[in-house]
Copies of this chain bind each other. A is one copy, B any other.
């Protein structure tokens, strides 16, 4: 998505440790009009695929998932991290390693929010090593539902999580794929 690449080049900041900071428009501060435009782009990419549900993980995936859900008129489900005492009943869960925070998290979804006949589109803001995406795919499989594909705002191509999952047959549509970030300059694939 050309408009996203231009926005990253203009407003993104590269920090030490291969961290791409897009908090000013995509993450902690959200350019809502642009977000909804990204949602419509994903709707176009996955049109006609009979998707029934958008699945993401809290917190930073929620905004993108809502934009896709609004564009496609589909419900959004998000996996929660850790334990939560106001979730009742059985859950599907998976362990996900976070390289950003340097720890493991369990993520979970109440079982009644995923049905075996659901056709699920997984949405997330970033794809790097693919840990979150693998965990979300695992949760969908536990439910017996089908993963139709994934939609990602920004993929860090140089970390190869996306390539590995594509090689295994997962359709991944990333709106921007960063090939390198050397010397603070973002190069797209």
Contact = CB atoms under 8 A, between A and B. Distances in A.
Interface of A: 15, 19, 21, 23-24, 28-33, 35-36, 58-60, 62-63, 66-67, 69-70, 73-78, 80, 84-88, 100-102, 109-110, 112-113
Contact of A62 (B33, B63, B102): B63
Nearest to A54: B32
A75 B29 CA distance: 7
A75 B30 contact: yes
Contacts of A88: 15, 21
A100 B85 contact: yes
A163 B70 CA distance: 33
Given A62-B62, A85-B101, A88-B21, A69 B32 contact: yes
Nearest to A67: B66
Nearest first, the 5 A-B pairs at minimum CB distance are A32-B69, A59-B59, A58-B59, A30-B76, A62-B62
A62 to B, nearest CB: 4
A76 to B, nearest CB: 4
